[in-house]
Structure 1
């Protein structure tokens, strides 16, 4: 059997709006009530706010990446430019087979050692130890 209700309580009515005591609970309650709102209510102000937040985030993102980009560019300037060295295909195959590496890696190793297979193999073996 149901308990008797006070006269001010109506069956099927929503609970009275009581604001929570702390700010965190108030924010959560506001977020929950915004979920119940109709989609066309307050759509324009929210969209403007979202666009403003997006623009601010993009500006901050761009500003945060600028020092990194300049640092990366500085480190690339310190690297020596790659030499244009003609590499013999037989040497590439030799290094690829004997040092168990891919042909592009063997080509890069040969270019780094002026297309000298002996220097490239010596450097690979000494670096591996």
Structure 2
């Protein structure tokens, strides 16, 4: 009880399949020829290298613009650390910071040295940070 099919219908084919099979061997108009030539030039190996180099150049320019907008400098060298001051830190202040802020002794000492040995400034800075 199969249905009768016309000669134009092929078993398993869809309308999209039939249209794909009907590709003309030569382009019909000048526009078609231009489009075909543009597609062929995109497939050329030489153009792929040019495209990737252009993308790399654009990426570099975008990174440079972003860095400038963020205020970053063009040099990639790390900023130099400020010369360390030779500040005497009271052991009682270190013990207080260790107890109150629950810091390790080394970190408490560094915090006090950064704030000229003043425990009050060091605690305020730790709380604000």
TM class by shorter-chain length? 0.3 to 0.5
Q: TM-score scaled by structure 2?
A: 0.46
